[in-house]
Structure 1
């Protein structure tokens, strides 16, 4: 059995290319088995409307399934929940607890991710106590309703300056949009609807991996 300590988690993060955000769903275990086998490296449980008890149940399914595939499991927004359910880390937005505050809760063995939406936030994320950051939304997306697209400028900045800290392009990522963020310097992406809404999630993952790997 793999020792999922901080060193293993951060090496797995460094090797990751494809990060999925998913809400809870009735077929969660089967869905996860499909997409993880097809090439998803990281799964974030993100369901802002769910009750905590439902999130805990979904998190247990997610944790067990992700561990079976030796992938990574991230909880959205809630450092306490990440610790409670045995996640590999927590992802915090600009309006959530700061990375410093999250670190006090999760400790050194769990990872912290950070959302960034413009070049200033990208620059700050490089100095913050986070293990990775996401850049976007590159395109308008209902997942971030009301947030204007950031375009490619923050992606290009991250590509130029984030040499040692992993980062992911996010926002409207799909097989036909991945090539442009790759051209801007991204080698990792966060995906939501292109996988969660796909008629064949495994095939969608394969197409995304092919687009990422060129």
Structure 2
């Protein structure tokens, strides 16, 4: 499978309603703490917007709700992977993306036969506390050799000026959170990402 090189990650359907119409083709809805009924409503709203605009929606962690909402792609961290029912996920026809930070996690992820592998943080990130040091560009190349032909997603501290190095190192898609959501002009920054990643589309 081929992933769009611009991979937006946001924490609400409102962000999806705001940014996907600008031309985003790959977005992850990543909501950590919300009651199930509200979360299901967020997922359904996000799914409707993405379907209307031809954007691939990926649901973070909440695979049961993704199935209930009729979504077709989930992303799991390592802890969520350990607790997930991969058989049920696959029988529901969902594609699967998995996070990795070290060689042990990479082995665990590959054993689950995912549809893509994510590596991070590439650069220092303010999104959350990380017990892993920045991976750097060389690690992207190493990971790509391990995971090919699966797509490799780079995440952590990315901005448009770092994209050339990330893709040259072997990433197939660049995931972004705070460079857009904390930007004074999220719409303008989103358009810049779309423009800057066009050559890898």
Q: TM-score category by the smaller chain?
A: 0.7 to 0.9
Does 2:183 correspond to 1:198?
Answer: yes
The correspondence for 2:6, drawn from 18, 23, 36, is: 18
Does 2:38 correspond to 1:57?
Answer: no
CA RMSD between the two structures = 2.4
The correspondence for 1:185, drawn from 157, 170, 180, is: 170
The correspondence for 1:125, drawn from 98, 109, 114, is: 109
Unaligned runs of 5+ in 2: none
Give the match's secondary structure for 1:21: strand
TM-score relative to the length of structure 2: 0.85
Distance in structure 2 (CA, Å) of the matches to 1:65 and 1:147: 35
Give the match's secondary structure for 2:44: helix
State how 1:61-140 maps to structure 2 within 5 Å: 61-98=45-82, 101-107=85-91, 109-140=93-124
Distance in structure 1 (CA, Å) of the matches to 2:126 and 2:110: 27
Distance in structure 2 (CA, Å) of the matches to 1:103 and 1:93: 17
Instruction: Give the deviation of 1:18 after TM superposition.
Output: 1.4
| Aligned residues between the structures | 198
The correspondence for 1:165, drawn from 150, 161, 176, is: 150
Instruction: Give the deviation of 1:147 after TM superposition.
Output: 2.9
Give the match's secondary structure for 2:121: coil
Question: Is the contact made by 1:178 and 1:208 (CA closer than 8 Å) also made in structure 2?
Answer: no
Give the match's secondary structure for 2:39: helix
Question: Is the contact made by 2:67 and 2:92 (CA closer than 8 Å) also made in structure 1?
Answer: no
Instruction: Give the deviation of 1:108 after TM superposition.
Output: 5.4
Q: 1:143 to 1:102 in 2, by over 3 A?
A: farther
Unaligned runs of 5+ in 1: 1-10
Q: Which residue of 1 aligns with 2:193?
A: 208
Distance in structure 1 (CA, Å) of the matches to 2:61 and 2:86: 9
TM-score relative to the length of structure 1: 0.81
Instruction: Give the deviation of 1:57 after TM superposition.
Output: 1.5
Distance in structure 1 (CA, Å) of the matches to 2:126 and 2:87: 30
Distance in structure 1 (CA, Å) of the matches to 2:119 and 2:19: 23
Distance in structure 1 (CA, Å) of the matches to 2:82 and 2:51: 27
